[in-house]
């Protein structure tokens, strides 16, 4: 299927989301821009990635585009986008242009992006509210204020300016939190590609290989299967590097006897997978590595078991933490009772992050974790990660056999009506399955 057919096939989904936002706004104008292109250096751009909020509402992949959604009287959806340009298309490739974009993506109107500043004050006139996002991009904020001031300057002619400004992302965050069928289908495919990439990476691991060679296996599988990019910079961290939480250099050689931590997931049609596994470079866990691994695996199982509708956000984290605290006591790395280790925070020497985050268009996806001061309840359609870990640095005064063991086990979990579904279950994670795969 061509890009055009895919876009056309899904445009009803995006139109449905715009209708939903209309309902939530009731009256007013929403203005949602896509992301700007970013220069990497002279004449060279970073690979383009659209803004997630804009894409969620449009499916439109081109840069230089803004969605304007008018709710209430005379309600309509308007896309501002690039004009057709034969000269530019010769260099950079296809552009939809105004007419085709309007038709294919089901907008009521389309205008040239060059008309945005001229038309916005007209579209905001006599509207009760503006829904936009301010505070992330100073140049965008300035433009929005100019449009508003331009309407305000006309008040003596009887034109009313929007009296209220709301953060459109507050509405969209809530919508994005519950994934629809189209999103879930895409996330399942992203999960499948990413689990296969982990299997491929596991098979490629051996002493003497470099971390980047394993990274190359992951990226190869992502692209081979049509994923556009990694959803975030892969972490491929051997030995002590696994204890650096955001290690991305990926340039060290893998040593026999070390563990390798791999945190990598693809982005497919905008949606992220986020998977971490740890495997022994030599194909077999040492007894100490196995002990720590089994502890993290048990913590993850407790977190996943706690994912169900009605459970508060922090319940999976608390469940994982209790298992980790007990495990650290059993291994002699923390002292006292589980409650004391948790309340005193002693575990934080070995576990310094939380157990998960929302997942979707962004790897750390949109959505609040608390509402009115309370952890929010899980609901069917939410997707979160379960990713406890344990990072034992050599300098932490631990027995030698535990030094430089860094383990995180991360899966992507959908909340279902009856409990949960692990979208990334196909990436091996028991000691037996990992060792068998590496042997094979
Ligand atoms: N890979 C990013 C994270 O696990 O949060
Ligand atoms: Mn994660
Ligand atoms: Mn991750």
Q: Catalytic residue at 408?
A: yes
Mutation probe of ligand 1 site: the residue of 232, 244, 261 with most atoms within 8 A of C-beta: 232
pLDDT exceeds 60 at position 5: no
Predicted confidence (pLDDT) per residue in 248-272, tens digit: 999 999 999 999 999 999 999 999 9
What is the percent of the chain with per-residue pLDDT over 70, rounded to a whole number?
98
Measure the CA–CA gap between 406 and 353, rounded to whole angstroms: 13
Measure the CA–CA gap between 222 and 217, rounded to whole angstroms: 9
Q: Catalytic residue at 364?
A: yes
Residue 8 binned pLDDT confidence (cut-offs 50, 70, 90): low
Residue 396 binned pLDDT confidence (cut-offs 50, 70, 90): confident
What is the atom index within ligand 1 of the atom nearest the CA of 387?
Answer: 4
Could you tell me the domains of the chain?
3-173 (3.40.350.10), 178-439 (3.90.230.10)
Ligand closest to the CA atom of residue 233: 1
The token pair that represents 71 in the structure block: 């709710």
Which protein residues touch ligand 1 with a CB less than 6 Å away? 232, 263, 274, 357, 363, 387, 410
Predicted confidence (pLDDT) per residue in 63-73, tens digit: 999 999 999 98
264 alpha carbon to ligand 3 midpoint, in Å? 6
Give pLDDT, residue 386: 98
Mutation probe of ligand 1 site: the residue of 263, 413, 424 with most atoms within 8 A of C-beta: 263
Q: Any bridge partners for residue 237, and if so which?
A: 261
Give pLDDT, residue 395: 83
Q: Catalytic residue at 274?
A: yes
What is the atom index within ligand 1 of the atom nearest the CA of 232?
Answer: 1
Residue 1 binned pLDDT confidence (cut-offs 50, 70, 90): very low
């Amino acid at each position: 299927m061509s890009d055009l057919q895919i876009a056309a096939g899904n445009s009803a989904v995006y139109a449905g989301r715009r209708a939903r936002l209309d309902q939530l706004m009731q009256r007013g104008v929403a203005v949602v821009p896509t992301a700007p292109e970013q220069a990497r250096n002279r004449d060279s751009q970073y690979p383009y990635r659209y803004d997630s909020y804009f894409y969620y509402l449009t499916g439109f992949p081109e840069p230089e585009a803004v969605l304007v959604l008018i709710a209430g009287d005379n309600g309509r959806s308007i896309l501002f986008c690039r004009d057709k340009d034969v000269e530019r298309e010769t260099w950079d490739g296809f552009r939809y242009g105004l007419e085709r974009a309007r038709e294919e993506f089901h907008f009521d109107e389309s205008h040239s992006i060059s008309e945005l500043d001229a038309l916005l004050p007209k579209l905001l006139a006599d509207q009760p509210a503006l829904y936009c996002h301010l505070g992330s991009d100073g140049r965008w904020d300035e433009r929005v204020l100019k449009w508003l001031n331009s309407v305000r300057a006309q008040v003596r002619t009887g034109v009313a300016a929007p009296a209220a400004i709301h953060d459109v992302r507050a509405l969209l965050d809530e919508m994005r939190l519950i994934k629809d069928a189209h999103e879930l289908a895409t996330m399942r495919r992203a999960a499948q590609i990413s689990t296969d990439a982990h299997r491929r990476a596991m098979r490629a691991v051996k002493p003497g290989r470099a971390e980047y060679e394993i990274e190359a296996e992951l990226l190869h599988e992502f692209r081979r299967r049509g994923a556009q990019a990694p959803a975030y910079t892969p972490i491929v961290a051997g030995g002590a590097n696994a204890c650096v939480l955001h290690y991305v250099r990926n340039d060290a050689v893998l040593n026999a006897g070390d563990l390798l931590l791999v945190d990598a997931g693809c982005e497919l049609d905008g949606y992220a997978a986020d998977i971490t596994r740890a495997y022994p470079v030599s194909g077999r866990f040492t007894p100490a590595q196995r002990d720590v691994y089994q502890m993290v695996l048990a913590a993850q199982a407790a977190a996943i078991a706690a994912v169900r509708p009605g459970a508060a956000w922090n319940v999976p984290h608390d469940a994982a933490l209790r298992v980790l605290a007990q495990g650290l006591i059993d291994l002699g790395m923390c002292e006292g009772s589980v409650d004391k280790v948790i309340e005193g925070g002693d575990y934080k020497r070995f576990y310094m992050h939380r157990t998960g985050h929302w997942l979707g268009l962004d790897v750390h996806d949109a959505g609040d974790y608390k509402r009115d001061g309370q952890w929010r309840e899980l609901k069917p359609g939410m997707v979160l990660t379960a990713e406890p870990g344990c990072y034992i640095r050599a300098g932490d005064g631990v027995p030698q056999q535990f030094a430089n063991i860094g383990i995180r086990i991360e899966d992507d979990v959908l909340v279902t009506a009856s409990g949960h579904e692990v979208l990334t279950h196909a990436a091996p994670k028991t000691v037996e399955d990992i060792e068998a795969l590496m042997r094979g």
